[in-house]
């Protein structure tokens, strides 16, 4: 096999939309992937042009020409109470339950929001795009609206702007703006350029302040759509998709799945759809 024509197995599967590279590495390590009848190992490389037979959990994975696949991105308004995994042993709601169904592909979440955080969560069908957008070297801004309990002193604000020490290293907001509020509830907008676990909450906790509500309102220059209901999604247009691809050095996409007709809005879940979904879940 010509090494120049090979790619890592997890990269091939990610490009086909079967998860992020990190997720797929764990699947390969668990022995759930085979190539031409042999259990795959982490580090295996394959030549797609040779049409190897790849299976995940016994199911054959169709090999498609990735250059012909259209890169799609969804903006989803994650509600509190949903988790960012495909399946939950405890039966909790996941962010994937309300997304549109796909054939021969699946949605990959670009980063995560914890169960108590709401707001903008992006999904894509392009595993390479997802992997690059999540990599810390690209320093992509994430903006959050934060409500905290109690008064915040000037000294505490100084500490936040200077930075704090967390158990996994130093951390600081790139920017912090006071948004106001009444009584014991104050609102702030903060910006980070990395996505460590519960980082916004932990930074505030480091100065003795408890976060009571956290909403992500921006990823790069993609804003949480104002009219999008919680639990709703909308597909991004070609310009927005190519903005994200340019951020991480990927070539422009030439096609889109959404209509170009300005009189027709991209399909999204309505408030009525969300209520029906919530009613179905409450009756389970």
Given this model, what pLDDT does residue 114 score? Answer: 93
pLDDT tens-digit map of 1-33: 344 678 889 888 887 778 778 889 999 999 999
Distance of CA 203 to the CA centre of its chain: 21
Mean of the per-residue pLDDT values for the chain? 85
| Residues catalogued as catalytic | 114
Backbone angles phi, psi at 28, to 5 degrees: -65, -45
Domains, the chain: 3-66 (3.10.290.10), 70-136+222-282 (3.30.2350.10), 141-219 (3.30.2350.10)
The CA–CA distances, whole Å, from 48 to 11, 80, 127, 155 equal 11, 41, 16, 58
Is residue 134 within 8 Å of residue 248, measured between CB atoms?
no
DSSP-derived 3-state class of residue 73: strand
pLDDT tens-digit map of 32-85: 999 999 999 998 998 887 888 999 999 888 876 544 578 999 999 999 999 998
Given this model, what pLDDT does residue 272 score? Answer: 52
pTM over 0.75: no
pLDDT tens-digit map of 234-279: 999 999 999 999 999 998 988 888 764 333 344 444 445 444 444 4
Closest by CA position to 238, among listed 222, 255, 250 = 255
Give the separation between CA 71 and CA 235, rounded to whole angstroms. 11
**Helix ranges, the chain (H):** 9-15, 21-29, 127-134, 154-162, 199-206, 238-247, 271-282
């Amino acid at each position: 096999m010509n090494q120049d024509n090979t790619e890592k197995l997890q990269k091939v599967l990610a490009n086909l939309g079967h998860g992020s590279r990190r997720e797929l590495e764990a699947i390969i390590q668990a022995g759930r992937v085979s190539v031409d009848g042999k259990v795959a190992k982490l580090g295996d490389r394959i030549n797609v042009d040779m049409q190897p037979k790849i299976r995940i959990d016994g199911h054959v994975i169709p090999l498609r020409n990735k250059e012909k696949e259209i890169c799609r991105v969804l903006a989803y308004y994650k509600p509190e109470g949903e988790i960012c995994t495909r399946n939950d042993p405890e039966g909790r709601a996941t962010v994937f339950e309300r997304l549109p169904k796909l054939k021969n592909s699946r949605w990959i979440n670009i980063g995560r929001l914890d169960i108590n955080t709401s707001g903008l969560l992006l999904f894509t069908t392009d595993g390479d795009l997802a992997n690059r957008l999540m990599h810390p070297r690209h320093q992509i801004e994430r903006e959050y609206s934060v409500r905290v309990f109690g008064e915040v002193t000037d000294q505490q604000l100084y500490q936040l702007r200077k930075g704090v020490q967390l158990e996994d290293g130093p951390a600081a907001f790139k920017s912090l703006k006071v948004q106001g509020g009444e009584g014991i509830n104050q609102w702030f907008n903060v910006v980070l350029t990395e996505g460590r676990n519960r980082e916004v909450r932990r930074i505030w906790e480091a100065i003795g302040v408890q976060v009571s509500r956290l909403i992500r309102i921006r990823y790069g220059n993609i804003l949480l759509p104002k009219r999008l209901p919680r639990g709703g999604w909308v597909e991004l247009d070609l310009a927005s998709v190519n903005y994200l691809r340019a951020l991480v050095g990927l070539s422009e996409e030439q096609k889109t799945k959404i209509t170009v007709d300005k009189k027709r809005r991209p399909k999204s879940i309505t408030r009525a759809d969300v209520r029906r979904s919530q009613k179905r879940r409450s009756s389970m």
